[in-house]
Amino acid sequence: MARELNAIVSETILVNAETLIVRVVPDGWELAEHQPGQYCVIGLPGSAPRCDLSEPDEKEVDPDKMIIRAYSIASGSNQQKHMEFYVTLVRSGALTPRLFSLKRGDRIHLGQKVTGVFTLKEIPEDANLVLMATGTGLAPYMSMIRTFLTPESKRRFCVIHGARHSWDLGYSAQLSLLNGLLPHFDYIPVISRPQDEITPWGGESGYIQDIWKRGLVAERWGEKPCAETTHAFLCGNPSMVVDTLVLLEAEGFSEHTRKVAGEVHLERYW
Ligand SMILES: Cc1cc2nc3c(=O)[nH]c(=O)nc-3n(C[C@H](O)[C@H](O)[C@H](O)COP(=O)(O)OP(=O)(O)OC[C@H]3O[C@@H](n4cnc5c(N)ncnc54)[C@H](O)[C@@H]3O)c2cc1C
């Protein structure tokens, strides 16, 4: 099937100049059902303009060819009107500089197929969850939270979100609110460059790995998360994913693969 501009941008929200939340509505067709944690593709033609902050295209781009990339779905699977995506600008990238030029009402390609196994589908309903992400790796967890987190949830959720600065922490207002409202939901934002903050940062500093090593999840939960009770999800920057996996494996967790069931689930963005 030809790739068309088959959807409309219904909302763009700039978290900061290099981080974008974009909502897309299908034009005349129904969204497929998705499981929280899955992804689909979005795209724009080479003729779409690049945003001011970007660098020029690295390679010559065919103006008629659709540039397609995968994005985790951030919206919950319990609403079917739009799909939400949480996107970081790669200044030299082919697609993201074009996404950052989008305005409400612009047309975009939205893939009709949804895919991915980074989901809660095979996880016991009472297993606790530690959801660790850098940057826009938070997107699949927003979908999980929006779909499954209720005041009655039996399991504990802990979101650890790493970014360089406090202003890079998208969705932090929503997650902080949930942290205050629900005793079984914890949100631990962590920034790696506290020295750049405009006002003193009162939260955690360092990397996701440091939060795990410092035992902050155990402190919040009143018990140490272990492979018998907890599944861990890692999403975003590949070095965070690899380094944190090593830490978890040293504590008895094992990687979940298509062939072997484990308690650590990985999604690498590049
Ligand atoms: C399953 C899956 C889900 C994804 N979901 C998301 C998502 O929800 N949000 C999102 O922003 N990206 C996501 N990505 C990455 C996305 O597909 C693109 O690779 C990214 O947006 C860059 O596209 P581009 O065309 O601008 O850059 P390209 O021209 O394709 O350049 C690719 C290079 O950009 C760098 N890069 C890619 N992604 C990032 C990033 N997030 N942060 C910093 N550098 C990066 C890497 O060096 C990579 O080699 C996902 C990737 C996969 C495989």
Same domain, 104 and 198: no
Of 110, 137, 172, which closes a domain?
Answer: 110
Same domain, 92 and 209: no
Give me the pLDDT at residue 181, please: 97
Asked, for residue 235, whether it belongs to a domain, the answer is yes
What is the domain count for the chain? Answer: 2
User: 143 CB contacts (<8 Å, ≥6 apart)?
Assistant: 34, 36, 37, 38, 72, 73, 74, 75, 76, 77
Same domain, 74 and 143: no
Q: Ligand 1 pocket, 118 CB below 6 A?
A: no
Of 110, 139, 166, which closes a domain?
Answer: 110
Which CATH number covers residue 250? 3.40.50.80
Q: Ligand 1 pocket, 100 CB below 6 A?
A: no
Its domain, for residue 178, covers 128-268
Chain CA centroid to CA 66, Å: 24
Of 58, 76, 110, which closes a domain?
Answer: 110
156: CA distance to ligand 1 center in Å? Answer: 30
Give me the pLDDT at residue 155, please: 96
Of all protein residues, the one whose alpha carbon is nearest to atom 21 of ligand 1 is 96
Q: Ligand 1 pocket, 86 CB below 6 A?
A: yes
Contact, 255 vs 245, CB < 8 A?
A: yes
Same domain, 100 and 148: no
How far is residue 251's CA from residue 189's CA, in Å, rounded to a whole number?
23
Same domain, 91 and 178: no
Of all protein residues, the one whose alpha carbon is nearest to atom 27 of ligand 1 is 93
Asked, for residue 121, whether it belongs to a domain, the answer is no
Give me the pLDDT at residue 3, please: 85
Asked, for residue 14, whether it belongs to a domain, the answer is yes
Tokens of 105: 């009402």
Q: Ligand 1 pocket, 136 CB below 6 A?
A: yes
On the 0-12 / 13-18 / 19+ scale of CB atoms within 10 A, 249 is middle
| Best residue for ligand 1 mutational test, from 18, 136, 270 (most atoms within 8 Å of Cβ) | 270
How far is residue 104's CA from residue 12's CA, in Å, rounded to a whole number?
6
pLDDT digits (tens, 9 = 90+) for 189-236: 999 999 999 999 999 999 999 999 999 999 999 999 999 999 999 999
Q: Ligand 1 pocket, 70 CB below 6 A?
A: yes
Give me the pLDDT at residue 2, please: 66
Give me the pLDDT at residue 9, please: 98
How far is residue 242's CA from residue 5's CA, in Å, rounded to a whole number?
36
Give me the pLDDT at residue 65, please: 96
Same domain, 227 and 103: no
Q: Ligand 1 pocket, 189 CB below 6 A?
A: no
Asked, for residue 118, whether it belongs to a domain, the answer is no
Residues of the chain with pLDDT under 50: 1
Asked, for residue 1, whether it belongs to a domain, the answer is no
Asked, for residue 117, whether it belongs to a domain, the answer is no
Same domain, 79 and 173: no
How far is residue 150's CA from residue 161's CA, in Å, rounded to a whole number?
20
Which CATH number covers residue 100? 2.40.30.10
Element at 217 (helix H, strand E): helix 216-221
Tell me whether strands 230-236 and 204-205 are parallel, antiparallel or unpaired: unpaired
Contact, 265 vs 244, CB < 8 A?
A: no
